[in-house]
Amino acid sequence: MTQRSDSRHLSSLTLIRPDDWHVHVRDGEALKTVVPHTAAQFGRAVIMPNVRPPVTTAAQAVAYRERILAAAPPPLPGHTPFKPLMTLYLTDNLPPDEIKRAKDAGVVAAKLYPAGATTNSDAGVTDLRKTYTTLETMQREGLLLLVHGEVTSSDIDLFDREAVFIDTELIPLRRDFPELKIVFEHITTREAAQYVQSAGNYTAATITAHHLLYNRNAMFSGGMRPHYYCLPVLKREIHRQALVDAATSGSPHFFLGTDSAPHAAHLKEHASGCAGCYTAHAAIELYAQAFDAAGAMDKLEGFASWYGPDFYQLPRNESTITLRREAWTPPESYAFGEAVLKPLAGGQALQWRMV
Ligand code: DOR
Ligand code: ZN
């Protein structure tokens, strides 16, 4: 681990307004709860397309963007309006023409879900080769490929699925499309961090706050804790430490993506509980907690506010936010349509708060 200067004397930190490069906001009534949380903190957010039905056309992406914007509060003085950055859901037969229409509509990327990998991924890709003509068009048009990097085969241990994906899917994909920009989303292992660091300028990764803060023990401490269950699942402590090292290294290959993924509490506290941690209510505070614990508050701005837009070739935000060292306790639940949403670390004290 790198030796850090002590940041514990810091009482506040002002940084360029961050962006969330990976978030699930769902649709319908849920938008009213979750979009204001994300818009309060982030200038932009890359919106995942795994709603029902999945977002597979430019027209659907544009309509979804309008519904998200309708749920966003007006910007605070001095800030530009919140900007959702839309994505398409890659399927076995997403036509190359749709990529061109999507680009014209401002869509920034397509998301690869291996079929069956996670929430609403049944329409996902069954064989990457089926997508190759579409990927060629994306490479040419400059759309990014965002990857849920897990194999789905039931004979591969759940905890090994990310590492196996690198060898069997990602390395061949990288070789076949050398200039396609790929974001390996929500990486969870030392293997993924090492791969991304060595894979050249067209490859980057997002890291969630929960994978920086917790290892897999969190899911089982004193009983099953479904609110810590997400995919890819939390891993061993050595992996958490490797992710903290990557996020706080100052390497532009790693940037912020919360993977905040709201589910109604009764569907997580269930015999077959849904995967996803909700962190949008206190996203930047949770990251600050992780960076502070590593003595690396000076690296937070690069990770949260610079390297994401640089990789997407978008301008960095111009306004700033300020975090203050101040203990506060987020609520244990929020209304979520007719249901209840239980945020990660709800009811637990956090050390940093956005002013
Ligand atoms: O935990 C997760 N939840 N991982 C994913 O990949 C999807 C997400 C969701 O949409 O709920
Ligand atoms: Zn996700």
pLDDT tens-digit profile of 232-274? Answer: 999 999 999 999 999 999 999 999 999 999 999 999 999 999 9
- Ligand 1 touching residue 260 (CB < 6 A): no
Q: What is the predicted pLDDT for the residue at 79?
A: 85
Whether residue 275 has its Cβ less than 6 Å from ligand 1: yes
- What pLDDT is stored for residue 117 in this prediction? 80
The CA 95 to ligand 1 mean position distance, Å, reads 25
Contact present, 35 and 278 (Cβ < 8 Å): no
Pairing status of strand 339-341 against strand 254-256: unpaired
Task: Determine whether the shortest distance from the Cβ of 146 to ligand 1 is under 6 A.
Answer: no
Range of the domain at 156: 12-354
Q: Which residues are catalytic?
A: 259
Model confidence pLDDT, tens digit, residues 167-203: 999 999 999 999 999 999 999 999 999 999 999 999 9
56: CATH: 3.20.20.140
> Quick check: is 2 in a domain?
no
Ligand nearest to C-alpha 23? 2
Which of 48, 90, 165, 259 for a ligand 1 pocket mutation test, highest count of atoms within 8 Å of Cβ? 259
- How many CB atoms lie under 10 A from the CB of residue 7? 18
Domain membership flag for residue 6: no
How much distance in Å is there from the Cα of 234 to the middle of ligand 2? 14
User: Is the per-residue pLDDT at 334 higher than 60?
Assistant: yes
Check residue 122 and give its pLDDT. Answer: 83
Position 112, amino acid: L
Average pLDDT for 107-131:
92
Answer yes or no: is 4 within a domain. Answer: no
Average confidence (pLDDT) over 28-55: 97
Instruction: Give domain status of residue 52, yes or no.
Output: yes
Is it the case that residue 2 has pLDDT exceeding 90? no
Q: How sure is the predictor about 9, in pLDDT bands with cuts at 50, 70 and 90? A: confident
On the question of pLDDT at 62 being above 60, the answer is yes
The model's pLDDT over 298-307, given as tens digits with 9 standing for 90+, comes to 999 999 999 9
Ligand 1 contact, 344 CB (< 6 A): no
* CA-230 nearest atom, ligand 1: 1
- CA dist 47 and 28 (Å) reads 15
- The closest-lying atom of ligand 1 relative to the alpha carbon of residue 120 is 10
Within a domain: 1: no
Which ligand lies nearest to the CA atom of residue 48 in the structure?
2
Quote the pLDDT of residue 47. Answer: 98
Domain membership of residue 125 (yes or no) is: yes
The residues near 46 (Cβ < 8 Å, ≥ 6 apart) are 19, 20, 21, 22, 23, 85, 87, 108, 109, 146, 257
Q: Is 264 in the pocket of ligand 1 (CB under 6 A)?
A: no
Q: Could you write out the DSSP letters of every residue in 241-278? A: HHHHHHHTTT-TTEEE---B----HHHHSSTTPPP---
* Whole-number pLDDT of residue 4: 54
Residues 309, 44: Cα–Cα separation, whole Å: 10
Q: How far apart are CA 319 and CA 190, in angstroms?
A: 34
CA of 224 to the centre of ligand 1 (A): 19
Interval between CA 54 and ligand 1 midpoint (Å): 14
- Using CA positions, which residue lies closest to atom 10 of ligand 1? 119
pLDDT confidence of residue 7: 66
What pLDDT does residue 8 have? 67
Q: How far is the CA of 10 from the centre of ligand 2 (A)?
A: 32
| Ligand found nearest the CA of 211 | 1
Is position 29 within any domain? yes
Least confident of 69-78, 218-227, 261-270, 293-302: 69-78
Q: Please report the atom of ligand 1 found closest to the CA of residue 229.
A: 1
Number of domains, the chain: 1
Confidence of residue 3 (pLDDT cuts 50, 70, 90): very low
Contacts of 252 (CB under 8 A, 6+ apart): 204, 302, 306, 307, 310, 311
DSSP state of 315: P
Q: Which atom of ligand 1 is nearest to the CA of 24?
A: 10
pLDDT higher than 70, residue 278: yes
User: Is the CB of residue 197 below 6 angstroms from any atom belonging to ligand 1?
Assistant: no
Task: Tell me how many helices (H) and strands (E) the chain has.
Answer: 13, 13
* Residue 7 belongs to a domain: no
Question: Which ligand neighbours the alpha carbon of 344 most closely?
Answer: 1
Q: Answer whether 276 contacts ligand 1 (Cβ < 6 A).
A: yes
Q: What is the mean pLDDT of residues 108-134?
A: 92
Q: What is the pLDDT of residue 120?
A: 83
Do 17 and 76 form a contact (C-beta atoms < 8 A)?
no
Q: Would you say the pTM of this structure is higher than 0.95? A: yes
Ligand 1: centre distance to CA 177 (Å): 26
| Residue owning the nearest CA to atom 2 of ligand 1 | 276
